[in-house]
Amino acid sequence: MTDAPTWLCLAMLLLPLLTAVAICMVRPPLMRDRVNTVGAILTAGAALTLAALATTGTHGPLLDGWLRLDALGGPFLAVIAVVGLCSALVSPAYLRTAHESLVSEDTERAWYYACLHLFWVALLALPLVDNLGVAWVIIAATTGVSALLVAQSRYPKALEAGWKYLVLTTIGLAVALFGIVVVSAAAPERGRLAGLSWQGLAASALHMPRDIALVGFVLIIAGLATKIGWAPVHNWLPDAHSEAPPPVSALLSAALLPTVMLIAWRTKIALAPAVGARTGSMLFIGFGLVSLAVSVPFLWRRMAWKRLLAYSSLENMGMLALGIGFGSRLALAGVVLHLAAHAVAKSLGFSAATPLFAVRPSAKLTPVHGLLRSNPSLAGAMSLSLGALSGLPPSPLFFSEVLIVMGGFASGYTTAAALASLLLALGFLGLARVLVEDLMAQGPQPGAGDGVGRRSMLALTIVAGILLGSLAVLAAFLPGSEYVHALVGTLP
């Protein structure tokens, strides 16, 4: 390890922990908000610097040891940093508008902030971990703290969603742990934690019996699928996203799901010598197509805003699975672009939920309609988010989906790419219908309180628009970049 990246890594992991402790020690609510903001900015700065060094240094991993940061993990670390920063910055507004909720109390405010930063630091650690066993432990830790955040309001539906999330994902993690045990038992050096490093697994895979390795691999991916939110093991996802505080929903959707997918991706790469690269790809493609197919009927239904975003997560995680499964240069460029654009659009969408619920409390349970006249800045933010997530040109998600589908045809997965194209078109039509018929429809004249969050939402929309526009331009250069070349070099 070089000194500068090591110190940056330590700072990135320690800052959220120190922020959580400091928030619990200070008393005035305003001071807690400020500590949260300063800690989040410093943490995100360190993480983004590390991610930039990892993605621009294409000649090897930036960190190498128990902590490893390479071209594969760099974009995921950047996404976690940006989403976590956004969630921390919008949390004070959420706490101020959480009427009749226990989170408005001073002690609950400190508890919320502490759990948020603990959840964030666990997510930041995942792309750096160079060991499947340690990654499993960290994923399990995210389950506990995020379940508390999902049930933060303590309303009956929130408690039910928190328990559902905890139980279902814990079952999935138990299945994944059994798969890790099977793989470890099949390795030449049994029982050694170091043997579960990504390089150690790849070396051991050369000598594993194929049938045993395949069983272990399927168990690991199927177990992690519950945390990723792939269908048909996604049942916790709509309820948890709907009931969690909006900043937590953003972390769950835009950071947790793809980060656990990174661990599944690394497992696929490490065990490819034993199970075969094509076998691993087919498993990812299968999960991707099923997730797309299951999401489409829900995207056509009129439903509450956060629940709609949850089913959009199911579609987008399926798209990422397809890109990883296809594995070509075009597909991988699409995966990186899709990962970043989804994070920006989804963070904006969930951030808009806080002022939305202040203006329209009924929007927690029912579809939003006719917001354009009463609160145009809020309607603009929601429309930008939904338009980007639907893949409406020139959204960067449109270009990423085109790259992934083209990558599927280039890799020889013609049937899967064709099916994905059809399902994406159906999903686009469903979200476009919601955009036109609900968000863009003319509603009643503005009333008292309809101006809540106008300035903040306008600022967030401008920043998100700039980021999405930049990613759309990047789509033209990414497939032929040195970064994608280095990324392809990490695959079997």
Tell me the per-residue pLDDT of 411-455, one tens digit each, with 9 for 90 and over.
999 999 999 999 999 999 999 888 887 766 655 555 544 555 677
pLDDT at 70 over 90: no
How many Å apart are CA 440 and CA 424, to the nearest integer? 22
Residue 297 CB neighbours (<10 A):
12
Of all residues in the chain, the percent with pLDDT exceeding 70 is: 92
Q: Cα(227)–Cα(83) distance, rounded to whole angstroms?
A: 18
**Considering only CA atoms, which of 276, 173, 272 is closest in space to residue 221?**
173
* Residue type, position 224, single letter: L
Mean pLDDT of 135-155: 91
Render pLDDT for 334-371 as a digit per residue (tens, 0 to 9). Answer: 999 999 999 999 999 999 998 888 888 888 888 887 77
pLDDT band at 263 (very low <50, low <70, confident <90, very high): very high
Q: What is the pLDDT of residues 191-225, one digit of tens each?
A: 677 678 898 899 899 889 999 999 999 999 999 99
Put simply, whether the predicted model's pTM sits higher than 0.85 gets the answer yes
240 and 164 Cβ atoms separated by less than 8 Å:
yes
Enumerate residues 6+ apart whose C-beta is below 8 A from 234.
226, 291, 294, 314
Q: Which candidate, 182, 191, 277, 170, places its Cα nearest to that of 220?
A: 182
Rounded CA separation 19/59 (Å): 34
| pLDDT > 90 in the chain, percent | 65
Mean pLDDT within 137-153: 92
The structure tokens listed for 237 are 């996802």
In this predicted structure, what is the pLDDT of residue 60?
A: 58
pLDDT, one tens digit per residue, over 300-329 is: 988 999 999 999 999 999 999 999 999 999
What integer is the mean pLDDT of 229-246? 92
Confidence at residue 67, expressed as pLDDT on a 0 to 100 scale: 78
Structure tokens at 461: 């929309």
Asked if residue 77 lies in contact with residue 107, where contact means CB atoms within 8 angstroms, the answer is: no
Segment 150-163 mean pLDDT: 88
- Reported as a single tens digit per residue, the pLDDT across 94-105 is 988 875 444 446
pLDDT, tens only, 25-46: 988 888 999 999 999 999 999 9
- Per the prediction, the chain carries an average pLDDT of 89
Question: Confidence band (pLDDT; 50, 70, 90) for 64?
Answer: low
